[in-house]
Every structure is written in structure tokens, then in C-alpha cells.
Chains A and B, each alone.
Chain A
Amino acid sequence: MAGLPLLPELLRQLFSRPATNTFPSRHLPSSVTGFLAKVARGEATIHPPVPTPPKFRGKIVYDREACIGCSLCLRVCPAHAIEFIPETKRVRIYVTQCIFCSQCNDVCPKDALHMSPEFLLATEDRYAESQIVE
């Protein structure tokens, strides 16, 4: 239609599949935590999120056995998210501080640090067990 070039496209879209990714469910559940609990019990199914690409940088994974306590990762961490524990000569990583640059992965001489594809990390407690990696 002259002057309104978007109109034909809009009418076409009326009959095609919506582009929305319905994560976690088609409509917002009345309680998200309740819905997630239901999913955990197997009563509901979660619609999967968009898959992550191969080298995605998600929550950090720490191989405590491989670590030698050289603390090089502390020097390159922009967010000061890594703490060195002198007693055990190992590090502790605060995920709520981490900015997911994965620079510590690059610098680690023993390959003890990796990024997992996990990204559903939101929580209300910044010192929750899931938010500290050691």
C-alpha cells in the first residue's frame, strides 16, 4: 500500500508464527519461583532458552586439584572477583562480582579455570552457595 510499506508485512505476520522465544513458559507464570519448583518436581516443562554458542562465557568452573596457587588470575581480574586464601593456597571466586571476561582462564598456567555455558545465575543473595566457587 502506498505510503504504508509495512502494512502488507504486518498482515502477513498476523498469520505466521510469532518470533518470541517463550522462555521459560508461554505466559508469565503467576509465581516464577513456584513455576520453577513445579519444573523441579516434574509437573511442568520449561521451554528451553536460546542455545548458547560453543565458546560462550558463563559461570566459572574451578579445578581445585590442578591449581598451584600462583595467584596470576588475581592480577588480571578487572572486577577483583577472585580472592586468595593464604591458609589453603587456593583461590575463591565470587560469581556476583565476576564480569565474565574469562581473562583468568587465559592466564592460568595449569588450565584450572574454565567457563561453563551456565547463565541462569540471578539470585537475591550475593553470598549464596551457588555464587561462590572454590
Chain B
Amino acid sequence: MIETLPAILIGAVLVAVFSIIIGLLLMGFDRIVAARMQARIGPPLTQPFIDIRKLLAKENVVPENAIPWLFNLAPVIALASAITILFYLPIAGFAPVLSGGGDLILVMYLLTLPALALVAGGFASGSPYATVGAQREMVTMIAYEFPLAIVVVAIAWRLAAEGISLPFSLATIGANPVWGLVGPLGAIGLLILLVVLLIVTPAELSRVPFDTPEAETELAGGILVEYSGKNLALFSLTQGVKTVAMASLVVALFFPYRLAAIAGISGFLGAVIDLLFYILLITLVTFISVSVIRVAMARFRINQVVSVYWIYLAIAGLGGLLLVMVDQIMGVV
């Protein structure tokens, strides 16, 4: 395990660069497949990079009513916290950079940080649209945390029931793929939990149909309405990194497989194969939970967002949890 300070620093820089590049590529991929599903050609894959370059060259406008220090600080916090999430998640089978320091519970808390920074930035920008958007973002956050927690708890509980120590540690989850532990009933339960997590993802990333905080046609960009230039570029980068983080979380929880290990290839070639397999997995997750969902639905109202998460997905999640539990008990009996 990497434990020395210089190694951690190098790892952190590598993860940050990797997540930003992959995040932007994922956004480009999402735009292309969404365009194809709508019978359009769409932009080139590198379009997010072009957008970021242009935004970075533009002036930062701070509105008159804004609180400047908070308004300018929010994007930095958002990006920093989004990258921090990835320090605790295993990427392509490599152990997390800060593997010793945190587990799944910490990741769940960290996931709320970029959203909180966004809310702070929204309230600080002093526009009615941004204020409404920030209120909606808070409500959305409260709404999706519950089903997300159910999924996390269900998986940790299953590992704990197997007698594995440190069930919330991502290294443990990576070492014991949860599908291998359950019977057919539990597999159905896990499938339900996977679907719940895939539907939580677009809300976490504020994409249609859960993009109420930004809602272009209602709030003209909502939370981000007053942001421009470098600050907006930082938020766009955050969006990309968050996409990687959420997709990595899904992969870490449900598909912690390493193709190279299964095929018995080790060394540098194995690492490359693992990395490619991991990128394929997160691209697949992005395709399902971002692109397909966002092209196939209309935007929900904020009260509908809450009822979708608190009622439908919570019930589905609890049902999945129950199936996993019943499966475990039946297995013991």
C-alpha cells in the first residue's frame, strides 16, 4: 500500500488529472450518444475541452448583489471536494489514494459537498432565479440521500452478515464482490438496488429529469445563472469529475471486478487492461443513468422529485434490502 507522503501527493495529482480528463470525455460521450438518440449528429468528443478553454479565457462577472468572496469560493470548493471523493474510491482496481483514511460513509458525506458548494454559490449570487435554484438543489439533495443510504447500507449489511470485518471499507467491498455472496432471491434484490442507484445518479449530477435546480426553461440556468468565465469553467469541471465519481461509486459497489485478475494477466499489461475495462464500465454506467434517462423523460416538478425518491425509490430500495436479507437468512437456515 502507498502510505508515504510523496507517494500520496503524486497519486492525488494523477487522480485529479485523470478524473478531469475522463470526466470531460464522459461529458462529450454523453452529448454524442444523446444527440444520436435524438437523430442529431452532435458535437465532437472534445467539445467539453473546447468549451472549458473558451470559458477560461472569459471574464469573471460578479453581480452587484452577490457576496463576492462566497460567490468566488464556491466553484473552487465544489471542484476540490469532487476530486477528493475520488481519492477514496478505487479506480481501475488500484487501491484508493487515501485508502487508510476513509470508508463508504465518508464518501457519502463528501458527495454532498459539491452540491452544498453549489447551493452556497447560488444563494451568494443574489438573483431570484439562483435563489429558487439553490432551494430546489437543497430539496433534491435531501430527497436522494435516503435511497442512496439504503443502497449503501444494504451492501455493507450483506458483507457484515457474511462475517467480513470493516464492511463499509471500499477495499473490503472490492475484495468481495457482492454478487458472489447472494442466492437468486438476493440477486433480484441487488438488481433492484442497482436500478435505484442508477436513478439516484442523474439527481446527483442534476440532469434531466431531475435538473430542477438548473431547469433551463424555468429558471434560465437556476443556480448557475449568474456564473460566467472561470467560475463557470470550474463548475463544468466539477460536473465532469462528479460524473466520474458517481460512475465509479456504482462500479465500486456493484462491479468491483478486475478483468486482468480474472484472465490471470499481471504486471503493466494487466494494469492497462484493468484501466480500459474500468473506463468501459463507467462509460456504460454514464450511458444508462445519464444519457438514456435524460433523453427519455420530461423534467419533474420539485415535489415530484421528492415523491419519486422518498416514495417510489425508497420503497423499491427497502424491497431490495428486504430481498437481500431474506436471501441471507434462508441461506443460513
Residues of A within 8 A of B (CB): 4, 6-7, 10-11, 13-14, 16, 18-20, 22, 26-27
Contact = CB atoms under 8 A, between A and B. Distances in A.
Given A4-B296, A4-B297, A10 B41 contact: no
Nearest to B47: A27
A20 B37 contact: no
Contacts of B43: 27
Contact of A18 (B35, B292, B295, B297): B35
Contacts of B295: 10
A3 to B, nearest CB: 9
Contacts of A16: 39
B40 A6 contact: no
A109 B42 CA distance: 51
10 contacts: A7-B292, A10-B38, A13-B36, A13-B37, A13-B39, A14-B37, A18-B41, A19-B40, A20-B39, A20-B40
A34 B141 CA distance: 48
Contacts, number: 36
A4 to B, nearest CB: 5
A19 B42 CA distance: 11
B33 interface: yes
Q: Which 5 A-B pairs have the closest CB atoms?
A: A10-B37, A19-B39, A7-B296, A18-B41, A20-B41
Contacts of B292: 7, 10-11
B36 A18 contact: yes
B296 A14 contact: no
A24 to B, nearest CB: 14
Nearest to A30: B50
A101 B43 CA distance: 37
B199 to A, nearest CB: 13
B40 A14 contact: no
Contacts of A22: 41
B44 interface: yes
A10 B37 CA distance: 5
B191 to A, nearest CB: 17
Nearest to A8: B296
A19 B35 CA distance: 11
Contacts of A10: 37-38, 292, 295-296
A128 to B, nearest CB: 31
A14 B297 CA distance: 16
Interface in B24-73: 33, 35-44
A71 B146 CA distance: 78
Contacts of B39: 13, 16, 18-20
A105 B234 CA distance: 58
Nearest to A16: B39
A14 B40 CA distance: 9
Interface in B290-317: 292, 295-297
A18 B42 CA distance: 9
A20 B42 CA distance: 9
A29 to B, nearest CB: 12
A57 B33 CA distance: 38
B313 to A, nearest CB: 15
A13 B297 contact: no
A19 B36 CA distance: 9
A41 B292 CA distance: 43
Contacts of B40: 18-20
A16 B38 CA distance: 10
B208 to A, nearest CB: 13
A14 B292 CA distance: 10
A20 B40 CA distance: 6
Given A18-B42, A22-B41, 16 more contacts: A4-B296, A4-B297, A7-B292, A10-B37, A13-B37, A14-B33, A16-B39, A18-B36, A18-B39, A18-B41, A19-B39, A19-B40, A20-B39, A20-B41, A26-B41, A27-B43
A13 B40 CA distance: 9
Contacts of A11: 37, 292
A22 to B, nearest CB: 7
Contacts of A20: 39-41
B30 to A, nearest CB: 13
